[in-house]
Amino acid sequence: MNLVEMLKDHSSVVGQGQARKKVYDLEARLNIDLPKDFFDYLVNLNYAEIFDEPIYGINPEIKRLDIYEQNKHTEHFRYGFLMVFSNDIDGTIYIRPDTSNVYNASFTSPIANSFTEFVANVLKEA
């Protein structure tokens, strides 16, 4: 099952997705290439939840949900980590766009090889 399908099955509320141009604009503004699975999440959903906590998307009108606002001018982003999710159970979750690996706030070693794998692992534990 792919990331979008997993999130649709799990989330009580999902978004409608963003136009590819807006995702490309986000990549340009952040000067990164997003991993394919996260790019697909933005295009297909742009909003989903893991245990009632939102995954960040392109939402400039709601700064606490906007991936750009959560990452611009931050130390973690300067070191190559894109914050994509945060909750009380899993903590803050980051993707390294250059490798697609997923990290928690310790940044010591990847907790998953992709965002899809991270989501699958979290949902398995539920």
Q: Are 50 and 119 in contact (CB under 8 A)?
A: yes
Burial of 48 from C-beta contacts in 10 A (0-12 / 13-18 / 19+):
buried
Mean pLDDT of all residues in 71-100 = 93
Q: CB within 8 A of 32, min separation 6: which ones?
A: 82, 97, 98
3-state secondary structure of 65: helix
**pLDDT tens figures, 103-124:** 999 999 999 999 999 999 999 8
What is the rounded average pLDDT for all residues in the chain?
A: 94
Q: Which DSSP category does 27 fall into?
A: H
Q: What residues are paired with 112 via a beta bridge?
A: 102
Domain 3-125 CATH assignment equals 3.40.50.300: no
pLDDT class of 126 with cuts at 50, 70, 90: low
Residue 59 has pLDDT above 90, yes or no: yes
